[in-house]
Amino acid sequence: MSEQSSVQWLFQQLWDKPKDKFEWHIILEQAKAMHKEEIEDSYIECWMNDGGNGFHKVKEAEQYYNGTFNK
């Protein structure tokens, strides 16, 4: 069984029940956090598979995310 992506999760949350504006905002923030984690994990995995020496580049991954998606 594969993990649910942030987009799939967001769709399911929005589909399940009616929401007010406050709930929409909470769901959006949760989906954004999930997306950020997906991108950072992918960045680190790509680096590790491209000859990385085992050090986790979490801070660099966060900077990559912020520079690319958080404009």
| pLDDT, tens digit, 9 for 90 and up, residues 8-67 | 888 888 888 787 888 888 888 898 898 888 888 887 777 766 665 545 566 777 777 778
Say yes or no to pLDDT of 2 above 70: no
d(CA 38, CA 25): 20
| The pLDDT value given to residue 56 | 52
d(CA 21, CA 27): 10
| The pLDDT value given to residue 25 | 86
Q: Is 5 helix (H, G, I), strand (E, B) or coil?
A: coil
d(CA 54, CA 21): 43
d(CA 24, CA 59): 29
* Lookup: tokens for 31: 């989906």
pTM of the model: 0.63
